[in-house]
């Protein structure tokens, strides 16, 4: 009899913990204005990471290639 009660207590505790974890994972989280602005900037392509260039190291100069301009490249200083 004690084993059955103990099994029932453990099964109930497991179901309670599992139910709460599902409930907690479904809660809606609000993003801050800064986070939303960062996501929007990344989506629009406003963020440039690093210098997109090709280096020739005889004199160590770099040509910056702008993907939106029609010219081949401009000096990047």
Range of the domain at 14: 2-75
Q: How many domains does the chain have?
A: 1
**pLDDT band of 12, cuts 50, 70, 90:** very high
Q: What predicted TM-score, i.e. pTM, was given to this entire model?
A: 0.37
Considering only residues 60 and 72, tell me which one the structure prediction assigns the higher pLDDT.
60
Tell me how far CA of residue 45 lies from CA of 40, 66, 68, in angstroms: 9, 13, 12
Quick one: average pLDDT of 50-62? 57
């Amino acid at each position: 009899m004690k084993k059955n009660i103990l099994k029932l207590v453990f099964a109930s505790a497991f179901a309670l913990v599992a139910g709460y974890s599902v409930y907690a994972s479904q809660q809606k989280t609000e993003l801050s204005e800064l986070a939303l602005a960062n996501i929007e900037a990344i989506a629009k392509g406003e963020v440039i990471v690093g210098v997109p260039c090709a280096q020739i190291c005889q004199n160590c100069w770099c040509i910056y290639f702008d993907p939106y301009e029609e010219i081949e490249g401009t000096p990047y200083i």
